[in-house]
Amino acid sequence: MTATLAGLIDAALETSVAGSFSRTGIAARRRLFSWEPVTTDLTGRVILLTGASSGIGRAAALQLAGLGADLILVGRSAERLAAVSEACRAAGSPAVRTLRADLTLLSEAQRVVDDVLVGCDRLDVLVHNAGALVHDYRRTAEGFEETYAAQVLSQHVITCGLLPLLQATPGSRVIVVSSGGMYAERLAADRVEFGPDDYDGVRAYARAKRAQVALNEQWANRHPDGPPPTFHAMHPGWADTPGVADSLPLFRRITGPFLRTPAEGADTVVWLAAADEPTTSGRFWLDRAERATVKLPWAGQDHVEAAELWEVVCRQTGRRP
Which of 137, 148, 183, 205 is catalytic? The answer is 205
pLDDT the model gives residue 197: 94
**Upstream peptide bond of 94 is cis (omega within 30 degrees of 0):** no
pLDDT the model gives residue 278: 59
pLDDT the model gives residue 225: 78
Euclidean distance between CA atoms 237 and 35, whole angstroms: 17
Q: Which residues are within 8 A (CB) of 67 and not within 5 positions of it... i.e. 6 or more apart?
A: 38, 39, 40, 41, 42, 92, 270, 274
pLDDT the model gives residue 1: 73
Euclidean distance between CA atoms 101 and 212, whole angstroms: 20
Nearest partner of 106 among 72, 153, 48, judged by Cα: 153
In this structure, which amino acid lies at residue 129?
Answer: N
Kindly report the pTM of this predicted structure: 0.97
pLDDT the model gives residue 277: 65
pLDDT the model gives residue 279: 64
In this structure, which amino acid lies at residue 296?
Answer: L
Contact present, 254 and 226 (Cβ < 8 Å): no
Euclidean distance between CA atoms 212 and 127, whole angstroms: 13
Each of the 321 residues of the chain gets a pLDDT tens digit; together they read 788 898 999 999 999 999 999 999 999 999 999 999 999 999 999 999 999 999 999 999 999 999 999 999 999 999 999 999 999 999 999 999 999 999 999 999 999 999 999 989 999 999 999 989 999 999 999 999 999 999 999 999 999 999 999 999 999 999 999 999 999 999 999 999 999 999 999 999 999 999 999 999 999 999 887 789 999 999 999 999 999 998 999 989 999 999 999 999 999 999 999 988 656 899 999 999 999 999 999 998 999 999 999 999 999 999 999
pLDDT the model gives residue 157: 99
Residue 176 pairs with which residues in a beta bridge?
128, 233
Euclidean distance between CA atoms 137 and 147, whole angstroms: 9
In this structure, which amino acid lies at residue 219?
Answer: W
Buried b (16+ CB within 10 A) or exposed e, 74-92: bbbeeebbeebbeebeebe
DSSP labels for 69-112?
Answer: -EEEEEES-HHHHHHHHHHHHHHT-S-EEEEE--TTSHHHHHHH
Euclidean distance between CA atoms 185 and 198, whole angstroms: 15
pLDDT the model gives residue 62: 99
Euclidean distance between CA atoms 181 and 295, whole angstroms: 11
Residue 137: active-site member? no
The distance of Cα 264 from the centroid of its chain, to the nearest Å, equals 14
Q: Is 136 helix (H, G, I), strand (E, B) or coil?
A: coil
Helices marked H in 223-282: 242-247, 249-255, 262-274
